[in-house]
Each structure stands twice: as structure tokens, then as C-alpha cells.
């Protein structure tokens, strides 16, 4: 018999997220609660032009250190520096932000760069980049001198809508993804959708997978909006893009404000991630970008939900159809089900070596389930690759 992991892990009010009042969005400043104090996610086209002003509101700092990657800094460095006209950074530190470098060695590298740059406990670190930059630099900020002030400046759609908000930082181990890290909220998150113009088509489409996730787990109206406006989003039309970014952040902020340390409700943000993380780790982080792995993972989660009687066939069809509209994904790897299941056992949601999955009862509602039959998991792994109607490796 299936058992949900506690009623607190389910959104009991079915329309809750769809009906969230947007009063906090009036100034495009979304409040996020945390145990260390509330902070804001500023979401506005052109927000980076006001970087000086936003940093000044945080108080005085002995030094300001930017940490980014060479690729990101070439794309947005001038924009960031223009926004810091009155307070130029004391140092700009760069590191390799490939997923394969999301490791303890990078945390040590960044920490040493900060030490060489004379960063102290009164310093401020600006993490400028995508999800890897945010996670690794965030963990370094949490660890260096036992914690220095951090501002997240996400530059990819995945990081803007998901990873920069909520304070989760960390790195991968050979044994699994994000197994070492800390909950360390930024003092401020600055989301400027204009920087997304520099993203490749592949990176952008992968980011939209995380937006689809929010519709599946928390907001049926957002999901319907995506179905209606996907073509506009793929063209990166500003109005549509701003809407889904702000709505995604609002949902994330509400969830993490209620469950900062992922003891219950916050687990729903991992829809598709148990499968997706296994795909990433078993391909050594070389085949998929994170959003692509999550896209495959959401297909598998929808299938699994249907197999055990949680997700209706019509919702599975809608989920798969919307994901397909993102474009072709890198092919499913030739890896045994046993290997993928073994990788899934390292998932952070696992308890006592038992797999636990976030599944959607219906679009706009999700919960964590345990005691899922292994045969059902194997069924999902077997049929998920066959759900794709657009095959071939993604490029762009």
C-alpha cells in the first residue's frame, strides 16, 4: 500500500498557489522568509542597472568580491560593472562552472581566491552565473570564515526561476548529486531577465523545463498559461517571459518560506529530479544540462504516477506534450535500469535505502510518496524513453 510522506508534504488547499495574492509583487520585489531573516528577490528587466543602489541598501562592506566563470563574465561582466558605477568590485574571481566541476575542489579554489583577495567577515560576495555558480559560490560563502554576506545574481533561466532562491547550496560527489552543502540564504537575489538574451537556445529551453515543473506541482493556471504561450516564450517575448519568471519565483518563495530545510513541503520542488539526478550522475554530467535531465525526469515521474494510480492519463498526456514542445532532448542513455535505480538510492529524499518520489495527483498538486513498488519504477524507466516524439541530440 502506498503511503504519503505526511500530510504536511502535500498542498492541502488545491487552489492555493493558483490563488496566491500578488500584492508582494507590486514592486517586483518578492519576500522570502528564512531562519536567518527575510530577504528579497528583485525581479525586473534592467534590475542590474540598479546594482549599486540595491547593494547600498544592504549596508556597508569592507570589500566586494565578484565570483563568476569566464564564459558568464564575458557575456554579462560589462553589464554588472556598469551597475556598480559607484562601488566597483575589489576583486573579480573566475572559476570553471561546468557541471563536472561542481565539486569540493572548486569550493577550495574559490575559498583560496577569496583569502588571496583579503576577503574578511565584513566582505560581500556576488555570485554571478547559472546554477553551478550559485550552488558552488553559495557553499563557499557559507563556509569561508564560517559565513560571509552573499548576493545571488542568476544569469540562466534555471537559476533565475529556481536555484537562486531558497538558500540551498552544495556540490556533487562521485556517489551522487548535491550530497554536500549547506542551507545559506543570500542577503539579496537580483533577477534581470534581460541577461537571458545571451543564453543559447539549448540553455534557454532547458530552463523552461523548471518552469513547467512549477505548473505541475503548484499552479494549474501557470501550466495552462504555458500551454497557451509556449511559442511566445520560445521567442523570448519579454511580457510572457517576465510573467513566468516572476510567477515561478513567487511559488518557490512561498514553498521555501514554509519549509526552509526541506523537511516536508519543499520536497515537491524535486518533481522529476529523482530520475533526473540519476541520469546526470550516471552520464558523468556530460550528456545533459540540468533542465534537460529534469525534463526526462518529469516524463518518468508522470509515467510512474500513472502506473501506481496517482496521475490520470490525461494529465500524463498534457505533461509529456508540453515538455515535447521545448524541442528535442539528448537521447536517453544506454544504461541499465539497475544502475539508474542504484543512483536514485543516493537521492536526498531516500530514507533507509527506500526510494521516495514526488508525484502529481493532478496538474497543480503534488506530494511525496514512499513505498513505491520497484516494478513500477522499472516500468517508468522502460517506457519513458519511448514517450519522446522528437529524437536526437539537442544543439544550439
Share of the chain above pLDDT 90, in %: 81
Q: Is 273 a catalytic residue?
A: yes
Active-site residue 210, yes or no? Answer: yes
Q: What angle do CA 158, 177, 150 make, to 5 degrees?
A: 55
- The residue from 10, 40, 99, 210 that is catalytic is 210
Percentage of the chain exceeding pLDDT 70 = 90
Average pLDDT, the chain: 90
Tell me, yes or no, if 146 is annotated catalytic: yes
102, 205, 247, 252: which is the annotated catalytic residue?
252
Question: Is residue 348 flagged as an active site residue?
Answer: no
- Active-site residue, 379 included: no
**How buried is 67 (Cβ within 10 angstroms: 0-12 exposed, 13-18 middle, 19+ buried)?**
buried
Catalytic member of 93, 187, 205, 290: 290
pLDDT score of 152: 98
* Ranges 85-99, 342-356, 374-388: which has the least confidence: 342-356
Other beta carbons within 10 angstroms of residue 242's beta carbon come to: 16
Q: Which helix (H) or strand (E) holds 381?
A: helix 374-383
Q: What is the mean pLDDT of residues 303-331?
A: 96
> pTM for the full model?
0.88
The pLDDT tens digits for 271-299 are: 999 999 999 999 998 999 999 999 999 99
Distance between CA atoms of residues 210 and 159, nearest Å: 9
From the candidates 277, 307, 349, 379, give the one annotated as an active-site residue: 277
Judged against a pLDDT cut of 60, whether residue 206 lies above it is answered with yes
pLDDT in tens, 36-85: 899 999 999 999 999 999 999 999 999 999 999 999 999 999 999 999 99
Is 357 within 8 Å of 369 (Cβ atoms)? yes
pLDDT in tens, 115-160: 999 999 999 999 999 999 999 999 999 999 999 999 999 999 999 9
Using alpha carbons, select from 253, 229, 195 the residue that is nearest to residue 40: 253
From the list 93, 202, 273, 318, the catalytic residue is 273
Catalytic residue among 146, 175, 239, 353: 146
Which residue among the candidates 65, 260, 270, 307 is catalytic per the annotation?
270
172 is annotated as an active-site residue: no
Q: Is 168 a catalytic residue?
A: yes
**Catalytic status, residue 252:** yes
Convert the pLDDT of each residue in 188-205 to its tens digit.
999 999 999 989 999 999
Amino acid at each position: 500500500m502506498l503511503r504519503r510522506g505526511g500530510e504536511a508534504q502535500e498542498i492541502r488547499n488545491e487552489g492555493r498557489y493558483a490563488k496566491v495574492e500578488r500584492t508582494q509583487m507590486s514592486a517586483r520585489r518578492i519576500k522570502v522568509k528564512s531562519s536567518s531573516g527575510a530577504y528579497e528577490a528583485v525581479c525586473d528587466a534592467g534590475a542590474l542597472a540598479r546594482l549599486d543602489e540595491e547593494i547600498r541598501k544592504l549596508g556597508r562592506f569592507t570589500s566586494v568580491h565578484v565570483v563568476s566563470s569566464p564564459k558568464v563574465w564575458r557575456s554579462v561582466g560589462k553589464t554588472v560593472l556598469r551597475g556598480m558605477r559607484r562601488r566597483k568590485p575589489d576583486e573579480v574571481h573566475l572559476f570553471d562552472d561546468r557541471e563536472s566541476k561542481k565539486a569540493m575542489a572548486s569550493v577550495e579554489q574559490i575559498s583560496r581566491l577569496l583569502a588571496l583577495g583579503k576577503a574578511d567577515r565584513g566582505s560581500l560576495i556576488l555570485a554571478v552565473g547559472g546554477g553551478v555558480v550559485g550552488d558552488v559560490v553559495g557553499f563557499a560563502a557559507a563556509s569561508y570564515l564560517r559565513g560571509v554576506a552573499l548576493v545571488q545574481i542568476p544569469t540562466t533561466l534555471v537559476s533565475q526561476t529556481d536555484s537562486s532562491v531558497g538558500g540551498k547550496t552544495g556540490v556533487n560527489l562521485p556517489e551522487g548529486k548535491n550530497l554536500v552543502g549547506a542551507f545559506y540564504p543570500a542577503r539579496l537575489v537580483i533577477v534581470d531577465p534581460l541577461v537571458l538574451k545571451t543564453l543559447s537556445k539549448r540553455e534557454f529551453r532547458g530552463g523552461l523545463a523548471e518552469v513547467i515543473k512549477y505548473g505541475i506541482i503548484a499552479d494549474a493556471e501557470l501550466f495552462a498559461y504555458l500551454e497557451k504561450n509556449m511559442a511566445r516564450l520560445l521567442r523570448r517575448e519579454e511580457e510572457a517571459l517576465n510573467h513566468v519568471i516572476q510567477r515561478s519565483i513567487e511559488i518557490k518563495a512561498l514553498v521555501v518560506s514554509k519549509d526552509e530545510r526541506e523537511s516536508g513541503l519543499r520536497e515537491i520542488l524535486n518533481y522529476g529530479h529523482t530520475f533526473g539526478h540519476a541520469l546526470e550522475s550516471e552520464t558523468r554530467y556530460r550528456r545533459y544540462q540540468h533542465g534537460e535531465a529534469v525534463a526526462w525526469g518529469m516524463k518518468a515521474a508522470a509515467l510512474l504516477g500513472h502506473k501506481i494510480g496517482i496521475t490520470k492519463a490525461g494529465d500524463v498526456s498534457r505533461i509529456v506534450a508540453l515538455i515535447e514542445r521545448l524541442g528535442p532532448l539528448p537521447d536517453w542513455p544506454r544504461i541499465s535500469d539497475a544502475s539508474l535505480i542504484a543512483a536514485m538510492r543516493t537521492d536526498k529524499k531516500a530514507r533507509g535505502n527506500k526510494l521516495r518520489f514526488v508525484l502529481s495527483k493532478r496538474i497543480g498538486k503534488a506530494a511525496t510518496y514512499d513505498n513505491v513498488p520497484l516494478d513500477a519504477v522499472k516500468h517508468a524507466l522502460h517506457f519513458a524513453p519511448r514517450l519522446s516524439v522528437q529524437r536526437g541530440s539537442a544543439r544550439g
